[in-house]
Amino acid sequence: MINKKVTSVEEALNGVADNMTFMLGGFGLSGIPENAIAELVKRKVNGLTCISNNAGVDDFGLGLLLQGKQIKKMVSSYVGENDEFERQMLSGELDVELIPQGTLAERCRAAQAGFPAIYTPAGYGTEVAEGKETREFDGKMYVLEHAFKADFAFVKAWKGDVAGNLIFKGTARNFNPNMCGAAKITVAEVEELLPVGELDPNQIHIPGIFVQRIFKGAHYEKRIEQRTVRQTS
Amino acid sequence: MLDKNGIAKRIAKEVKDGYYVNLGIGIPTLVANFVREDIEVEFQSENGVLGMGPFPFEGEEDADIINAGKQTITTLPGASFFDSATSFSMIRGKHVDLTILGAMEVAENGDIANWKIPGKMVKGMGGAMDLVASAENIIVAMMHTNRAGASKLLKKCSLPLTGVGCVKKIVTNLAVMEVTKDGFKLLERAPGVSVEDIKTATEGHLIIEGDIPEMTI
């Protein structure tokens, strides 16, 4: 067993510096690496490029890094629900690259899997494809999209063991597994960190080989963005 | 004329037994409420769930179980969760049978625009570009005209495109239309709406052949 456990979020983020590119898991506020984000806010690293499907809300998630103007560029598929984001984007303070959600996932997966680029039909004929190589396969047009290159991937899982094996819960899984092993260093934070042998190898979603550091998150707020309920009849 | 629920009800008739269906945000989400109970259908949400159920009862909300609109949801027996790459493999790989989504504009050649208003709204495309680029069966649910009264069924889209030549069918508050190589073919009228009303509200080329039946919902 190769031990990936680090004892604190501070240790987990060793090597993080200004002007780096980060991948951050999560969809909306579900499955975001809350503890890593809090530590990035604390360290005041700036000039960051963040690859994340969304940009959080004004006072939570990546919104916290936006408040501190720590982000130089966002690569996302959907950035609604965040006024500060919109203000920084429209004023030109923040550089934004909007790309289709499936393309975002696949550019992560390509980096994880060792593919330099992939062809996707998404965005063909739209401004997303402008300046990109296109090619026809079997009569349909595709756009060449390159694998991401990132310094750190910050992911959040439900359970993990000290070997770095991960299990996700519900739709908090989202981009997290696709970002594991897609950056130079993958830092996983988990709600429950177990000794080896406690997780059933049949149930592992991401094998520890894709993870360099793992720690137990001190606290999870798990904020709900749109609380919707049905009436009891 | 139909309201939003009426549009959803009419589209629900297009959902067939055994279909895997992806519903967009807005009117499309309402379609789930009107699908016949005697058929088996599974709803996919692109953030990573297949077999979506209704909203949870109060007190049973789980931050780890949401839909693509970030709403808390439940799952039905047989449901599964998966990562984003797998989710879009279902979509891009044409495993999802029917995609229903909203639009700001649709052109007579099937082009669709629904993600950006330059200088005004820049929320992003989310999964819409992947969905429209791959799905073989795309139905657009929308109002026939915008708030200013201008037609949303155009000769050519004026807004940045989401996808080209991809829309197959459109259900609006006024009509059901099929996109053909020659333009919007009128299939059905909404209750109380005349062919003339639909013509007036449609900027793109509208093909009217024979008697146009009133839709049943």
How many angstroms separate the CA of residue A99 from the nearest CA in chain B?
7
> Does A141 fall in a domain?
no
Q: Do A30 and B46 touch (CB under 8 A)?
A: no
Please determine, for the modelled complex, whether the ipTM score is greater than 0.95: yes
Q: What are phi and psi of B198, to 5 degrees?
A: -70, -40
How many angstroms separate the CA of residue A196 from the nearest CA in chain B?
24
> Does A100 fall in a domain?
yes
Nearest CA in chain A to B111: A125
Q: Name the band, by pLDDT with cuts 50, 70 and 90, for residue A232.
A: confident
How many angstroms separate the CA of residue A80 from the nearest CA in chain B?
5
Domain range spanning residue A211?
A: 9-115+149-216
**Strands A134-137 and B183-189, sheet pairing:** unpaired
> Does A130 fall in a domain?
no
Q: How far is CA B7 from the centre of its chain?
A: 10
Q: Would you state the structure tokens that stand for residue A49, as one six-digit string?
A: 């490029």
pLDDT in the model for residue A4 = 98
0.80 cut: is pTM over it? Answer: yes
pLDDT, tens digit, for every residue of A1-26?
A: 999 999 999 999 999 999 999 999 99
Q: Would you state the structure tokens that stand for residue A210, as one six-digit string?
A: 């894709």
Binding-face residues of A in 139-158 toward B, CB within 8 A:
158
> Does A2 fall in a domain?
no
> Does A228 fall in a domain?
no
User: Domain total for chain A?
Assistant: 1
pLDDT in the model for residue B40 = 96
Q: Name the band, by pLDDT with cuts 50, 70 and 90, for residue B26.
A: confident
pLDDT, tens digit, for every residue of B72-131?
A: 999 999 999 999 999 999 999 999 999 999 999 999 999 999 999 988 777 899 999 999
> Does A15 fall in a domain?
yes
- Cα angle, residue A205 at apex, residues A50 and A102 outer, rounded to 5°: 45
Residues of B that are catalytic: 46
Q: How far is CA A168 from the centre of its chain?
A: 14
pLDDT in the model for residue B25 = 87
Q: 């709900």: which residue's tokens? A: A224
* Beta-bridge partner residues of B189: B175, B214
pLDDT, tens digit, for every residue of B39-68?
A: 999 999 999 999 999 999 999 999 999 999
Of A28, A76, A98, the CB nearest to B70: A28
> Quick count: other Cβ atoms within 10 Å of Cβ A87?
12
Q: What are phi and psi of B149, to 5 degrees?
A: 90, 0
* Beta-bridge partner residues of A137: A140
Separation between Cα atoms, residue A182 and residue B82, nearest integer Å: 18
> Does A227 fall in a domain?
no
Separation between Cα atoms, residue B161 and residue A133, nearest integer Å: 18
pLDDT, tens digit, for every residue of A107-150?
A: 999 999 999 999 999 999 999 999 999 999 999 999 999 999 99
Separation between Cα atoms, residue A93 and residue A87, nearest integer Å: 9
Q: Name the band, by pLDDT with cuts 50, 70 and 90, for residue A86.
A: confident
> Does A188 fall in a domain?
yes
* Chain B neighbors of A102, CB-CB under 8 A: 46, 84-85, 87-88, 91-92, 127, 129-130
Of B62, B70, B126, the CB nearest to A170: B62
- Helix B84-92, helix A101-113: angle, nearest 10: 120
Contacts of A161 (CB under 8 A, 6+ apart): A193, A194, A195, A196, A197, A198, A199, A208, A214
* Chain A neighbors of B57, CB-CB under 8 A: 229-230, 232
pLDDT, tens digit, for every residue of B123-156?
A: 899 999 999 999 989 999 999 999 999 999 999 9
pLDDT, tens digit, for every residue of A184-216?
A: 999 999 999 999 999 999 999 999 999 999 999
Q: Name the band, by pLDDT with cuts 50, 70 and 90, for residue B16.
A: very high
Q: What is the mean pLDDT of chain B?
A: 96
Q: How far is CA B58 from the centre of its chain?
A: 29
Q: How many CA atoms lie within 13 A of B192 on its CB side?
A: 4
Contacts of B11 (CB under 8 A, 6+ apart): B28, B31, B100, B139, B141, B171
Asked if the C-beta of A201 comes within 8 angstroms of chain B's C-beta atoms, the answer is: no
Q: Is the pLDDT of residue B32 over 80?
A: yes
In CATH, what number is assigned to the domain containing residue A64? 3.40.1080.10
pLDDT in the model for residue A233 = 62
